[in-house]
Amino acid sequence: MVSNEIKEVFVKYLKEHSHRITNERFLVLDAAMSMQGHFDADELYLNIKESFLKVSRATVYKTLELMSECKLITKHNFKGDRSRYEKIIGREHHYHILCLDCQHIFEFAEPKIGKALKKLCSEKNLNLIDHSLQAFSTCKEKDKCRYFKKSRLR
C-alpha cells in the first residue's frame, strides 16, 4: 500500500496541473510503487490485470507520465523501443550500465560523478537540477553470463 506522503504528493500535483483525480490512477500509483527494479508500462499493466483490477492500458501509460512529471518515478530510455521506469522515493541516486546482449541493467552509485557535475556547473555559472548516466556494454563471456541465459528464455 502506498504511503499517505506519496499519495499527497501525487494529489497535489494532479490538482495543481488540473488533472482528474481517479481511483484508477491510485490503482496504478499503488501498483507502480510496489514494483521492484525497472519496469515498463506493459509489465505494470499485466501486473495490475493479474490482480483482477480494471484499469485501461491508456490509463497506465498516462499515469506513469504524470508520476514521472511529479518526481515519484524516473523514466529511462535504454536504447530500446520501450521506456522503463523506477521509483525515486526511498532510493539513493544511482547510475546504470545496460548490457546490450543480455539486457540486464546493472545499477551503481558513485558520489564522485555528482560532485564533478556540480563543480563543472558551478564553474559555468549554472545550477545543476538533475543528472543521469547510462553506459552500454556487452557480455564478455555470454556462456558464463547468468543474465544472458535468462534473457533467451523470454
pLDDT at 91: 77
Given a contact cutoff of 8 angstroms between Cβ atoms, the answer to whether 147 and 104 are in contact is: yes
CATH number at residue 129: 3.30.1490.190
* Predicted confidence (pLDDT) per residue in 66-93, tens digit: 999 999 999 988 877 688 999 987 778 8
* In a shared domain, residues 79 and 96: no
Q: Which of 90, 114, 146 is the last residue of a domain?
A: 90
Longest dimension (CA), the chain: 54
Task: Supply the DSSP string of 60-127, one letter for each residue.
Answer: HHHHHHHHHHTTSEEEE--SSSS-EEEE-TT----EEEEETTT--EEEE--HHHHHHHHHHHHHTT--
Give residue-wise pLDDT tens across range 93-110: 889 899 988 888 898 989
Q: What is the pTM of this model?
A: 0.78
| Domains in the chain, number | 2
Same domain, 76 and 1: yes
Residues lower than pLDDT 50 in the chain? 154
Where among 90, 118, 135 does a domain terminate?
A: 90
β-sheet bridge partners, residue 96: 107, 134
- Looking at the fold, whether 118 and 42 belong to one and the same domain comes out as no
Q: How far apart are CA 109 and CA 72, in angstroms?
A: 19
Task: Report yes or no: 118 and 70 within 8 Å, Cβ to Cβ.
Answer: no
Residue 140's domain comprises 92-154
